[in-house]
Structure 1
């Protein structure tokens, strides 16, 4: 099927995008408002855009009402700082629940019972249980003409790497991380690795195989087909 996006509305094209660009890494972003209120939210439009200086990108849509800016973006815009914590399998439930649209004066660390650890050079704390955290300062913000879609480029000013993950060669032991990523509206855990070429029998054994579900849902299930899904990426129900 060939689809022309021009006649589609934003909701429809968003479904196609998030189902096509997979898996997406999740930045579990901690910020702090100008008034000192801590915030924590997952952002799955997240990637690397530079290496010297190290630089990452966050793309944020408005809240589910389609017009209110997310607290994460407002805090970054107002303070110029954020921390991108790595989202891993042991914290998957907390990552998901931190996407609930809490009021702006609510501290997600407190609500979710998460322990914060002080950052080295930025004001927002990191998530203590996160194995990796990137302390960032804003380099540039790009906004759509309506001001609702926003891209933040941040320079990484400090890396936090848990001691057991930092190898003598200077690389990270990625096989020990179990990072989670976004598919469409679901999550996936990275629990295997390979370097091509692979034996033909290995490729044949996996040909056409569906992903294994770790929950109790049917193979055809997707949160997109439920009334609680929002193209904002927010969780509408706890």
Structure 2
């Protein structure tokens, strides 16, 4: 019988009383749970050397980040998030995997974090930035389930990519906006390449790539 890997989130939510925007993903790769990081990984949220979130933000804000397994690299990211009043609260607390990889679709017996509870606790948060859309086991997919479990309706504001929705918190009745960004992972490059808006820009400039497209999209919301 194949042994099941219990994939727990290695990082607590990074939020404080000043946070206004919250990045919401799923789980980092399993090696962040086991502690067996690769050279170039940063031991922090979205720290995979293969991930694109920090390279995107590095370009948008001119951060000159270090991409290495050091305390300095972690501190750079924390300082940036605090300065910009951005938090991180991935929605998955834990999951089980038969195959030890980073795919969202491979997660089973998933336990979600109480994101609504964090939103009620930190009232300055007004925007959720999903690092992926409504495909199965993506952050928006799980958040929709989380809302449904709490009997909270979600209203669509824009069906264009990135899709934008709104909902009201049940206790404070505060309006929260959600933005479903294109996933900052190489696995999403094929989907980006299929977008007509990307194809138009690519035809105008042959050097334009999928990272450039994400930078354009993300800078409007960060």
**Fold agreement, TM-score > 0.5:** no
Relative to its length, the structure with more strand (as a share) is 1
TM-score scaled by length of structure 1: 0.30
TM-score scaled by length of structure 2: 0.32
Max radius of gyration: which structure? Answer: 1
Relative to its length, the structure with more helix (as a share) is 2
